[in-house]
Chains A and B, each alone.
Chain A
Amino acid sequence: MRRTAALFLALVLTLAWAGQVQAKDIVLGVPLPLTGAQAKFGEIIKKSYEIAQEEINAKGGVKGDKLVLKFEDSQGKPEIARSIVEKLIDVDKQPVIFAEYTSACAKAVAAVAEERKTPYLVVASAADEITQQNYKYVFRLNPSNAYYASGLLGFMAGVVKPKSIAILYESSDFGTSGAEEMAKSAEKAGMKVLLKEKYEKGAVDFKPILSKVKAARPDVIYMVSYVMDAALLMRQIKELRVDAGLFAGGAAGFAIPEFVDNAKDAAEYVVTATLWSPQVPFAGAKEYFETYKAKYGSEPSYHGALAYSSLYVIADALSRAKSMKQDDIRDALKATDMTTAFGPVKFLDKDGYQNQNFMETLVLQVIGGKHQTIWPEKYASAKYVFPIPKWRDRK
């Protein structure tokens, strides 16, 4: 009994201590999927926020106040993400919300933020609708899914000139809209869509579908997949010797370093759309990449760069805002005009989007076991390899 009492006391003390944050700190709660199937991305984003937080605080914080981030796990469930945000707005009186990763959660959070008139900066959620709802308080740093492959389309039009395409995609929100957009753009560009097939995430064996792709002989195989499906797809493509003019990935799984680690030699020459690479010529990009690598021993993906830059956007808006009131912060965010490690940031209303940041997207190619930026050529860190050798002729 006494032990229970002691335990209880300890619990109360921790709670009390946790509640007593220094008055000068700006405490910001951050909802992220830290457990469950999406946790991987939640973690990259969390780590990147932490780097940005340290840097911003080292430079004097926001008007001399320190930023303190408090991460909360949403498990990737919209219900819980909403609980967290309702709490942040209502109980903690937090004037600005950011983060959350999956589009389902971001949609739930965005609706709440709009209703409660609290600015919300979306990080890395790609679903187009989020910034098409006439929301006044929802901002998005990353281009929406419809724009992810714009760079890749440029590369195809300029170099590959394909006549046909096969599209494989994961049946998620991200995969579906990515595939739809690509099918539309491909048809507009005069390509024939030979195949458009989806699969459930976690699939083990792609060989049946791949042998069908092989029989269709497309010029380009375009795949929208999360992490390991991407590696599995390429491994099995190599195994079946499915030859195509170009193997292209639609960001996400293909653009993160684990893809190369796991697909190994099967990853060679694969190109992928991406939003960011450490080779972009924006101040801080390289430094962020190196810091992340030194600190955590792994390489960050564009999701991390987005998170890192988004905290700078938040800090910038907070320091320009007339007060810590929601509307003032919203106005400050709307007036954002800065260059981050992710590129120039401006929230525009155009093409049916509101408060959306538009930007050029890049193309990476795996050359010599490393992701290299190959397109647009002004950002290229290496010359693209095209045409690519057939599987049989590779060593």
Chain B
Amino acid sequence: MKRSAPLIVLAGMAALPFLGLSSYVMHLLILVIMWSVSGMAWNLLGGYTGQVSFGHAAFFGLGAYCAGLASFHLNISAWYGFPLSIPFVAATALVMGLIVLRLRGPYFVLATLALGEIMRITAENLTDLTQGNLGIMIQRTWVEKTGYYYVILAVAALTFWVVKLLAESRWGYYFVAIREDQDAAESLGINTTLYKTVALTVSAVITGFSGAFYMNYMGYIDPQVVFSLGDISILTIMVVMVGGVATYWGPVVGAVIMVLLAEVIRSLPYVGTAYQTLFGVLLIVIIIYLPNGLVGDRQTLARLFKKKGAAV
């Protein structure tokens, strides 16, 4: 039963468009799935391997620009951004890995953060290539959302499978060993640099897919949108942290919270601009009481609800 859960969810998700959902709901679902993909990708590096990156916008943006520039300069469909992004993102990840993977703790965090910002400012300044802040605008392929939905659903399924495969393989144990105690792992003969690089590269490539999808779906990008520290890098981390670090379903739950719940809170009448305060408080509460996220701390969550149930 447990083994087939992902398949059941996938089948359910695949059937959703047949319910005749409104285009608004489809839009939100697409965003949820897109953020799940980014979250799962980040989780591989951050959750399993313990390397908390604040610079995933670099890969997201690079993927988006690969797609956008393919259409803009090469006059081919932006969908080619998916295959095209792989070498570029992987190369960037390798270079970045050389710089950051030797660093630990806060140094690693700050280095990734800086590299993300460097990518943004570079994209803003290489105006011949990227048009700078004028951004890239492309014609979207479909009017209907169903096509986009299935594309991103397929990417998500693939990502889920890759993460699961990696996490349950021997490599997955190495990842966790590195997270728990890097020196111990090293002394056991694990080539920590190699496995960290693997985790980073896979994570980066998948994040790049997410970005390439964003370009295709939104039809417009500029460096401040796709290389954003707050709206991409940090949002990705929040998706995972709120959902559940190092869990299969955490990023999915996190994406639901960060997209759907945010949208619901935003649409509350008479809250006005204060909804961000509400959302911020919600975040703080989750972090304090469920430090491993909703999925990671589901026992705690269950206990809380049971207690309440008993009191009533």
Q: List 17 A-B contacts (CB under 8 A).
A: A1-B312, A11-B268, A14-B269, A15-B269, A73-B273, A77-B231, A79-B218, A80-B266, A83-B27, A86-B27, A104-B224, A115-B143, A133-B137, A171-B133, A172-B133, A173-B133, A176-B133
Given contacts A35-B276, A87-B24, A200-B121, 19 further A-B contacts (CB under 8 A): A1-B312, A14-B269, A78-B225, A80-B266, A82-B27, A82-B218, A83-B31, A83-B263, A86-B23, A89-B23, A89-B24, A90-B22, A91-B22, A104-B222, A108-B219, A111-B220, A115-B143, A129-B137, A173-B135
Which chain B residues border A116 with CB–CB below 8 Å? 23, 143
- Least CB separation from B142: chain A residue: A115
Contact with B along A172-183 (1 / 0, CB 8 A): 110111000000
Which chain A residues border B267 with CB–CB below 8 Å? 72, 87
Given contacts A18-B269, A111-B140, contact A79 B134 (CB under 8 A): no
B23 pairs with A108, CB closer than 8 A: no
Contact with B along A64-86 (1 / 0, CB 8 A): 00000000110001111011001
A90 pairs with B23, CB closer than 8 A: yes
Main secondary structure of the interface of B (DSSP, over half): helix
A34 interface contact, C-beta 8 A: yes
B170 interface contact, C-beta 8 A: no
- Least CB separation from B131: chain A residue: A176
A230 interface contact, C-beta 8 A: no
The 8 closest A-B pairs by CB, nearest first: A18-B269, A90-B24, A86-B24, A90-B22, A107-B220, A115-B143, A87-B24, A86-B27
Which chain B residues border A79 with CB–CB below 8 Å? 31, 218
A127 interface contact, C-beta 8 A: yes
Chain A interface residues toward B at CB < 8 A: 1, 11, 14-15, 18, 34-35, 72-73, 77-80, 82-83, 86-87, 89-91, 104, 107-108, 111, 115-116, 127, 129, 133, 171-173, 175-177, 200
Contact with A along B257-272 (1 / 0, CB 8 A): 0000001001111101
Closest Cβ of chain B to A84, distance in Å, is: 9
- Least CB separation from A115: chain B residue: B143
Closest Cβ of chain A to B309, distance in Å, is: 10
Closest Cβ of chain B to A89, distance in Å, is: 7
Whole-angstrom CA separation of A111 from B224 in the bound complex = 19
Query: Number of contacts between A and B (CB, 8 Å)?
Result: 88
B143 pairs with A104, CB closer than 8 A: no
- Least CB separation from B145: chain A residue: A86
Whole-angstrom CA separation of A171 from B31 in the bound complex = 28
Which chain B residues border A127 with CB–CB below 8 Å? 134
* Residues 266-312 of B contacting A (Cβ, < 8 Å): 266-270, 272-273, 275-276, 308, 311-312
Which chain A residues border B127 with CB–CB below 8 Å? 176
A104 pairs with B225, CB closer than 8 A: yes
Whole-angstrom CA separation of A115 from B275 in the bound complex = 30
Contact with A along B106-148 (1 / 0, CB 8 A): 0000000000000001001101000011110100100100000
- Least CB separation from B124: chain A residue: A171
Which chain A residues border B222 with CB–CB below 8 Å? 104, 173
B99 interface contact, C-beta 8 A: no
Whole-angstrom CA separation of A115 from B140 in the bound complex = 9
Closest Cβ of chain A to B231, distance in Å, is: 6
B28 interface contact, C-beta 8 A: yes
Whole-angstrom CA separation of A14 from B270 in the bound complex = 9
A35 pairs with B273, CB closer than 8 A: yes
Whole-angstrom CA separation of A73 from B271 in the bound complex = 11
Closest Cβ of chain B to A226, distance in Å, is: 13
Which chain A residues border B24 with CB–CB below 8 Å? 83, 86-87, 89-91
Closest Cβ of chain A to B177, distance in Å, is: 38
A173 pairs with B218, CB closer than 8 A: no
B134 pairs with A176, CB closer than 8 A: yes
A78 pairs with B132, CB closer than 8 A: no
- Least CB separation from A18: chain B residue: B269
Whole-angstrom CA separation of A172 from B266 in the bound complex = 27
Which chain B residues border A89 with CB–CB below 8 Å? 23-24
Whole-angstrom CA separation of A83 from B312 in the bound complex = 39
Closest Cβ of chain A to B34, distance in Å, is: 9
Closest Cβ of chain B to A69, distance in Å, is: 14
Closest Cβ of chain A to B152, distance in Å, is: 14
A83 pairs with B28, CB closer than 8 A: yes
Which chain A residues border B266 with CB–CB below 8 Å? 72-73, 80
Whole-angstrom CA separation of A11 from B278 in the bound complex = 14
B311 pairs with A1, CB closer than 8 A: yes
Whole-angstrom CA separation of A200 from B118 in the bound complex = 13
- Least CB separation from A80: chain B residue: B266
